[in-house]
Amino acid sequence: MKHILHICVFVLVLAFPGSVFASDAATGAVSGKTQQPPAKTQPDTPAKGESRNTAVAVIHEGVDSIGARLSTRLKEKFNASNLFRLEEKDQPKMRLLLTTMEEFPSRPGLGSVYSVTWAFSQSEGHLAFLLARDVGVLTMEEVDALTDSLLARTDGIGVKYGYLFK
């Protein structure tokens, strides 16, 4: 009989694990210790975070149609993004120096070669600091994908060198 009683108590403890100590926790008498007063909680209002809005200028050099499309798409995406602002004023900004040319001059519109250089410039009269560079080949179908890739890389560079813009 004692064996059956122990099994019933064991099953009840497993079925209702929190209820066994609920009365002790409510009174604050857990193992003879007094309950600590609740810690101060943080206010339930959002705090204004640091704004990431990097000033950017896209400077394109080249006469090929694919390069012109890439330059235009970059400016459109920067203008539409919350992380960047196209800036023409003489102030600290990141400059994207984009150079493009036709891959094969005898077959125009087939592909373009591009070079992108990210540089930080304090103002027009100051020497720019090289931040990063990239080079590659693209076709008209790859312009949107490359634009997104360059935007992501620009954001990463802006975060890495954000102290320069302050």
Residues 6+ apart with CB under 8 A from 165: 54, 55, 92, 93, 94, 120, 158
Q: What is the pLDDT of residue 118?
A: 97
- Percent of residues, the chain, with pLDDT higher than 70: 72
Domain tally, the chain: 1
Residue 100 lies in a domain: yes
More confident residue, 67 or 28: 67
Q: Would you say 100 and 145 are in contact if contact means Cβ atoms under 8 Å apart?
A: no
Q: Which domain holds residue 147?
A: 54-165
Q: What is the pLDDT of residue 20?
A: 47
Give the model confidence (pLDDT) of 91-112 as tens digits.
899 999 999 999 988 887 789 9
pLDDT for residue 125 is more than 60: yes
Residue 26 lies in a domain: no
Residue 11 lies in a domain: no
Residue 114 lies in a domain: yes
- Percent of residues, the chain, with pLDDT higher than 90: 53
Residue 104 lies in a domain: yes
Q: State the pLDDT confidence band at 41, using cuts at 50, 70 and 90.
A: confident
Give the model confidence (pLDDT) of 3-17 as tens digits.
665 666 665 555 666
> What's the CATH number where 75 sits?
3.40.50.10610
pLDDT for residue 121 is more than 80: yes
Over the range 145-159, which residues count as b (16 or more CB within 10 Å of their CB) and which as e? ebbeebbeebeebbe
Residue 144 lies in a domain: yes
Phi, psi for residue 34 in degrees, rounded to 5: -85, 150
What number is the average pLDDT over the span 118-146? Answer: 94
What number is the average pLDDT over the span 46-60? Answer: 81
Residue 67 lies in a domain: yes
Residue 112 lies in a domain: yes
